[in-house]
Amino acid sequence: MEKLIYALWRDDAEPRDAFNARLLGAVADELAPHTHALRINVQDESVAAGTSPHFIVTQPQMEAVVQMWVDTAYPPARAPIEAALGRVASRIEGWLVSESVPLPNRACPPGLPTDGFAQVVFIEKPAALDHETWRRNWQDGHTGVAVETQSNFEYVQNLVVRPLTDGAAPCAAVVEECFPLAARADRALFYDAVGEPAKLEANEARMMASCANFIGEKGCDCIPMRQYQIKSLA
């Protein structure tokens, strides 16, 4: 099997709630028969405000992310998938990825939003780093830091193998982390340091220093979203 990730952009003329409803309803139903597993991330009012990281590099920024496991990324097999996505989104970009799950969430209710919020991050490799150094800095060096300094209860790393769609951004990785919903507006909870000011400052400093080893000056798209596990691997 192979894993595909698509970033979606909403037409400005369509309200966000209507876009989300179509994506999570009719489009999800259309995608499900073509997938072994299907996850959809959308933005809604529950994650619109807060102080947890929200960085914008891509203008305009993507508003939804669709992740799926399929038999093959062969173009004819992807055609109905991309056609369905194209009917709801004004723009789509896709990548074939290799998934690693250092911190699995084993309580994803099918079809319902996961408790908390998902932070989805699109990372481009800094030009100054060769690919293997960049990968080691991220997967080998940063993984423990990400788990030890935050209140995340799921951490998924998707290493990009290649782009799938014409014009897809030169994305090197897509990360998804899940946090308690209250952490969206509580910096101490986000950094797993409630009531411990010194630990809060230390955890945030350690996290930022580690990120600088693989994100680079350009920054990254970091988007708070709601996570829906539509279909899970058997």
Residue type, 65: V
According to DSSP H, which parts of the chain are helical? 16-22, 28-31, 75-88, 131-135, 143-148, 187-190, 197-211
Range scoring the smallest mean pLDDT among 37-41, 52-56, 203-207: 52-56
- Among residues 91, 61, 92, the alpha carbon closest in space to that of 224 is found at 61
Residues 77-109: tens digit of each pLDDT: 999 999 999 999 999 999 999 999 999 987 666
List the beta strands (DSSP E) in the chain. 2-9, 37-42, 64-70, 91-103, 117-123, 154-163, 173-179, 221-231
CA distance 63 to 44: 10
Structural domains present in the chain: 2-231 (3.30.70.100)
Residue 216 has what pLDDT? 87
Residue 46 has what pLDDT? 84
Residues 175-228: tens digit of each pLDDT: 999 999 999 999 999 999 999 999 999 999 999 999 999 998 889 999 999 999
Q: Which residue has the tokens 């788990």?
A: 147
Q: Are 231 and 38 in contact (CB under 8 A)?
A: yes
3 state DSSP class of 190: helix
Q: Are 65 and 6 in contact (CB under 8 A)?
A: yes
